[in-house]
Structure 1
Amino acid sequence: MKLHKNDNFSRRNFLKTSVLASGGMLIGFNFLTACKPEAKMPVDIASLNFNDFNAFIKISDEGYVTIFSPNPEIGQGVKTSMPMIIAEELDVEWKTVTVAQGILDTKNYTRQVAGGSQSIRQGWDALRQTGATAKQMLVNAAAKKWNVDATTLKASKGIITNEKGEKLGYGAVVKEAALLEVPEKAQLKETKDFTIIGQDAINVDIDKIITGEPLFGLDYKTEGMLYASVLRPPAFGQKLDTYDDAKAKAVNGVSDVLKFGDKIAVLASSTWAAMKGKKALSATWKTDSKAESTEKHDKILNKILDGKDFDVRREDGNIKKAFSTADKVIERTYNSPFLPHNCMEPMNFYADVTADKIHLVGPIQTPQWTANRVAKLLERKVDEIHLEMTRMGGGFGRRLYGDFALEAAEISNLAKKPIKVVFSREDDMTAGTYRPAIKYRIKASLKDGKVTGYHLKEAAVNGNMYGLIPNFFPAGCIPNYKVETGNYKSNITTGAWRAPYTNFLAFAEQSFFDELATELNVDAIQLRLDLLQNVKNTDDKRIEYSGQRMEDTIKLVREKSNWGKNAEGTYQGFAAYYSHNTHVAEVAEIELKDGIPVIKKVTVAVDCGVVVNPTGAKNQVEGGVIDGIGHAMYADFSFKDGKPEYKNFDKYRLIRMGETPKVEVHFVQNNLSPTGLGEPGLPPAGGAVANAINAALGKRLYNQPFVNEIKKSSILG
């Protein structure tokens, strides 16, 4: 998608595209500063008298503008970067902008979702058009006031100037502008004229975050609200048999104990009392369906890989012939465990169910879907639901599912009181929706120094891979290519985990290609570049990535990392991957200390199109890389008889501060429309580190977490 120099659109089209402009913010633009530099932003803009432009923009008589765009803010920075896009085309100074969170509004907005790293990508054109059209309406109002042609006027930094040098601030023409029709034409800026997009901007919530002002779901409270701590089945496949709540009700602060389904909610005046009351509950459980265990899953997934019950996702050429005529065939199997999400802010949600309405408040990635599910659960009309979104202290896919919101609504409906469900860390880790355990088996044929065949088989608990992944690299690069998937259905809840489907696959494939490069005696980076030549000019519409953009990204990281020129005692590993519409290449550098690999630095090259906010973009990439390294190196999770074996961080290992490497981020410079950034930095990280460890130890890693394999390595004793 390229930037448009001049976008012409009708009023109807504008209204349509405006509905698509989403991003989770409320923006106040101080237009009075254009005329009065000493003017200050008002403490409370809610009391101002607003005139409506459309569903997104309101401008007050005093010259302040509010722009509504209600995508959830999950830490991915859309609450900062999306206002920057509108402010750019509206032509105001960024320092005059304030931001707040919108609510769920299905009548005026679509895709109120935080997921898939799609907010900026899908909102880019519409947000720009929204800002440009509002600016044009203000210019048209000034033209009417001066009785001149609007094309003779210029607008910049909230000031409209005519040919005589006379000036009007936006606030001076807001009433006239509000009465005008939406213009048929609104010109967008050239990239070279951007003054806000591409400049560093601080997170708009940073002051509130560091001073502890209420922003997150855990901060929300109302008069008369009770806290709910829920006892859930301790193992997947179990149901509630009997329970005794006498001791729980005796806990100071506990007001009630309610059973709903196979769960028991303890209601109290504080989280401490509610959680203490839950621990005092006595319950027995019966096993109603199969008990799952990690050992069982391992055997079943191996059996799937050895069998023939697969769904073919893509097949090119003749894979059997490629293997039968090969000079050599290489086959490897890669394994990964279940993983919980472990957001810093545990799951929580507020619900107040009354006869008139259902008031919901909390951190949720899918507000509309959640509202629909609550309506169905309580047999109410969705129009009766008012849902407010708070800032989220992490999501990573866990807050897509909203089970905690449904619990809050059901408990409130039973209690006839406002309720806030709060998970403990143990609840969060044992009653989660996990990344599924997965095995990949990759087989390649080599002939005359070339990779001629490639066969990828996936076996996953509850399935993992869907339509797009078979069309990522190396699809189109290898003439004989096949991707198959198989799955085992489990009662353990699984779902999206940061960079779904690619978070482990990237490690497996990129490790495998490194091994192929060694077998072919070819530089690891050069092997990828050679393969990409086969897809750069493809007319295959199924291919999702760009061969040229991936090549440019790889060449940039090769240059910035000084690939192949590492200092003595430093070992490098390379990986590149495309996901969420973004191309990323990474080079990890490690050193050995007492024979133990220590990750010192990761150099990253990213092609995500136009970078709206460089500071925020770098934060996203750095966080994704460290997250990817931490989970690949250390994270392990297992089940026994359906019960999670880890409940807290005393046993579940996360990366520590001292283990985080320096991350150096470089962006490919182009004028293409923005793509995702919240997730794409994660997938290549594990592969780059694994390949660097092999360079240092001569040890190929096939299982995550790496630390388990490294400990078992005979090289380390």
Structure 2
Amino acid sequence: MTPSKTMTFSRRSFLKSSALASGGILIGFNLFNACKPDAKVPVDISQLNFNDFNAFIKISDEGKVTIFSPNPEIGQGVKTSMPMLIAEELDVAWDDVYVEQGVLDTNNYTRQVAGGSQSIRFSWEPLRQTGATAKQMLVNAAAAKWGVDASECTAKLGVITNANGDTLGYGDVVKDAAGMEVPENVSLKDPKDFTIIGKATGNVDIDKIITGKPLFGLDYKEEGMVYASVLRPPAFGQVLDTFDASAAKALPGVIDVIVIGEKARKFLDKGFISWTSVISGTDKVVVVAKTTWDAIKGKKAIKATWKNDTPLESTENHDKILFDLLDGDKFDTQRSDGDVKKAFAQADKVIERTYEAPFLPHNCMEPMNFFANVTPEKVHLVGPIQTPEETAKVAAALLDRELEDIEVEMTRMGGGFGRRLYCDFVIEAAEISNAINKPVKMISTREDDMGTGVYRPSTKYRIAASIKDGKLTGYHLKEACVNGNMYGLIPNFFPAAAVENYKVDTTNYKSNITTGAWRAPYTNFLASAEQTFFDELAEEMGVDRIQLHLDLLENVKNNPDPKIEYSPERLQGVIKLAVEKSNWGKSEAGVYQGFSVYYCHNSHVAEVADIVMDNGTPTVKKVTCVVDCGIVVNPMGALNQVKGGVIDGIGHTMYSDFGFNNGIPLSKNFDTYQLIRMGQTPKVDVHFIENELAPTGLGEPTLPPVGAAVANAIYKATGKRLTKQPYMSNMNVGEKVIG
């Protein structure tokens, strides 16, 4: 490992870079170039003679390279960064690379999933090896043409050179190379020799995005396709009783009104279990029409009645149930070190706090939608999905088809945040197409997404700590969660191994409200709770909050624990740099700072929030964010992910609230649900720890810490400790702004 260095990106330089990549300046640049007499027309790759080299790579006779990105593109940038890994080791000029979205292909690709910030981490070596193997085969083919040993040849920027200075382009030997034996061992580049990895690279789809070219699920069309809108139960716990479709059928553009649900019920009865399903077996009324708008109008004309099937739940019920669970003694112990009970009994002081967070919808910019065409020959599915392989398995089970019959194509996604891990909307499309024997696009409205979707579970944490002789001697974390959280990683996150007596207990209440992963699952609220608690704990102990973290991490270094997930050295590194870069403790008058540090999704992040009070209302002016995610593959994309995570975290921590009354969501659109507004977004000052470690997650790790950084800064300004999110609804200052 090389000594840590830092790459600093100023706000000014970021704005310049993002402007070049976003369209405004880019359009002007393209128009300017178009006026030049020697302006070159872009290559029409459809006219080139490409050879399939392997599942990832096509190379044309002209030396142009198409690289297939296997994982779903959800806005996290993998359609750019994953091909960069291949191109680096293939040793081609990035300008000669064209990128296409791969389809579901379990024979050639592994882990075609967008979730958990794991795409680059899992692909780091395999994709580089793919590129390096292809390069070696090309070199071997050239060497065979020349009659020399391959060790005498080098390759750079798509050109192979031998010891005599003779050259051949990749296109000259691609046909020969594609048929050669695949080498078993290839050498990967030393990071110091990278020419593509680590360089700011624009989104490969940016031109199509800014010019409105078809990319997203909503864009996909096929000949003869119809549209469908689904009327689902308005409350969780209700099922369809009766419906009258006469008014809907009389509307222009409406083709038919059908009911689906039978296949879903049979599917559920089979006992097929997939965590991606979240499928309801209740009947749903579907309006099939010539256009999306016709289908939506038809759905609104349906007169339906619903009956209660299971108890209709409300937020007040959940609050009481979760508090009762925390007060009870029925827990699953995830980790227990030492004797917490004894430490508490012998303590000079015990501090206990309870932290609360609401349900949250995902609010993807692009509502749920999917294309399905079920025919005797195959089941063709196209659209925005984070889990194509699991979706194919569920579709096969639902339709009683062989898995080989299911063909899944992935489009670019207009947001996911975990919602598109679940394939309920895909299964609806498949069941509709199967019923009407036509290709169909199922499209949800915003109200459908927010009112009948999948949500982050409502959660409460109770944290207690014991202090003896000025030292932290015990730590007990209890979680009570609606339906439970989906990952069991937290027992081995900080402060595991840092406190001698340490215990993590979990319990849950089973609800009929569908819940699931939400951006940075598990940790999105846990980090806020724990790091807010540590800020108060340091004050109660009379110690510096930064030093408390550094000292606890020294405990871990002195007593290594193989079970812990985080690196104490790397956490200390981001803490120290955040203190330095944020000017911690030296802010100007009227600026209040809050600190937070967290490890999740294999990355280490420290953040400092600067807030000011504006007529009694806290405003986040700046967040300093330091990230250790190993090698940064694409700095431009990395900046987007870091800043997006921070701003998303602030928005939901401060403003977003969601709940249920008798099973009905209290908000169904943005007129009653607040996301962060442009004027509320702070400056985000980003610093990456530079090292040569393999890259780790980046789409999610910067979101969890920011809630506590903001809460701790607000405490500095107001003296009020915040324990319930969203903060603006629970601190009795200012007014909530919606609309």
TM-score class, shorter-chain normalisation, is: over 0.9
Residue 67 of structure 1 and its aligned partner are, at CA, apart by 2.9
Structure 2 contact 74–416 (Cα < 8 Å) conserved: yes
Q: 2:381 matched to 1:380?
A: no
Partner of 1:265: 286
Distance 2:146 2:691 in 1: 40
Q: Residues 165 and 688 (structure 1 numbering): CA distance in 2 closer, same or farther, change over 3 Å? A: same
Distance 2:44 2:202 in 1: 20
The SS at the match of 1:386 is: strand
Partner of 2:43: 42
Distance 1:176 1:424 in 2: 52
Residue 147 of structure 1 and its aligned partner are, at CA, apart by 1.8
Q: 2:401 matched to 1:400?
A: no
Can you give the 5+ residue segments of structure 2 that lack an aligned partner in the other structure? 3-37, 262-282
Q: Residues 271 and 493 (structure 1 numbering): CA distance in 2 closer, same or farther, change over 3 Å? A: same
Partner of 1:214: 214
Partner of 1:321: 342
The SS at the match of 1:155 is: strand
Partner of 2:20: none
**What is the aligned counterpart of 2:592 among 544, 547, 571?**
571
Partner of 1:65: 65
Cα deviation, 1:645-703, whole Å, max 9, x if unaligned, reads 11110000110000000011100111000000010010001010000000111110000
Partner of 1:91: 91
Distance 1:148 1:127 in 2: 28
Residue 466 of structure 1 and its aligned partner are, at CA, apart by 3.4
Distance 1:224 1:504 in 2: 46
Distance 2:537 2:203 in 1: 43
Cα deviation, 1:257-289, whole Å, max 9, x if unaligned, reads 001122000011111111111011001111011
Give the residue type in structure 1 aligned to 2:407: H
Distance 1:465 1:161 in 2: 53
> For the aligned residues, what is the CA RMSD?
1.7
Residue 417 of structure 1 and its aligned partner are, at CA, apart by 0.9
Partner of 2:622: 601
The SS at the match of 2:148 is: coil
Partner of 1:140: 140
Structure 1 contact 465–485 (Cα < 8 Å) conserved: no
Distance 1:254 1:174 in 2: 53
Cα deviation, 1:506-558, whole Å, max 9, x if unaligned, reads 00000000001111222221111111111125442210000001111111111
Q: 2:347 matched to 1:291?
A: no
Partner of 1:179: 179
Residue 172 of structure 1 and its aligned partner are, at CA, apart by 1.6
Residues 144-159 of structure 1 aligned to structure 2 (within 5 Å): 144-159=144-159
Structure 1 contact 238–285 (Cα < 8 Å) conserved: yes
Distance 2:524 2:185 in 1: 43
Q: Residues 391 and 713 (structure 1 numbering): CA distance in 2 closer, same or farther, change over 3 Å? A: closer
The SS at the match of 1:606 is: strand
The SS at the match of 1:128 is: helix
Partner of 2:103: 103
Give the residue type in structure 2 aligned to 1:275: I
Structure 2 contact 372–433 (Cα < 8 Å) conserved: yes
Give the residue type in structure 2 aligned to 1:206: I
Q: 2:437 matched to 1:416?
A: yes
Range with bigger deviation, 301-310 or 380-389:
380-389
Distance 1:172 1:166 in 2: 13
Seq. identity, %: 69
Structure 1 contact 258–266 (Cα < 8 Å) conserved: yes
Structure 1 contact 472–578 (Cα < 8 Å) conserved: yes
Structure 2 contact 519–700 (Cα < 8 Å) conserved: yes
> TM-score w.r.t. structure 2 length?
0.90
Partner of 1:249: 249
Residue 183 of structure 1 and its aligned partner are, at CA, apart by 1.9
Partner of 1:165: 165
Partner of 1:26: none
Distance 2:373 2:425 in 1: 14
Distance 1:175 1:282 in 2: 63
Structure 1 contact 449–520 (Cα < 8 Å) conserved: yes
**What is the aligned counterpart of 2:353 among 332, 357, 367?**
332
Partner of 2:190: 190
Give the residue type in structure 2 aligned to 1:476: A
Cα deviation, 1:316-352, whole Å, max 9, x if unaligned, reads 0000111011111000000000000000000000101
Residues 544-623 of structure 1 aligned to structure 2 (within 5 Å): 544-623=565-644
Range with bigger deviation, 378-387 or 606-615:
378-387
Residue 62 of structure 1 and its aligned partner are, at CA, apart by 3.1
Q: Residues 59 and 39 (structure 1 numbering): CA distance in 2 closer, same or farther, change over 3 Å? A: farther
Structure 2 contact 59–170 (Cα < 8 Å) conserved: no
Distance 2:523 2:631 in 1: 23
Residue 159 of structure 1 and its aligned partner are, at CA, apart by 1.5
Q: 2:693 matched to 1:692?
A: no
Distance 1:628 1:81 in 2: 24
Partner of 1:78: 78
Q: 2:473 matched to 1:452?
A: yes
- Segments of 4+ moved more than 6 angstroms: 37-40
Q: 2:704 matched to 1:703?
A: no
Structure 2 contact 202–636 (Cα < 8 Å) conserved: yes
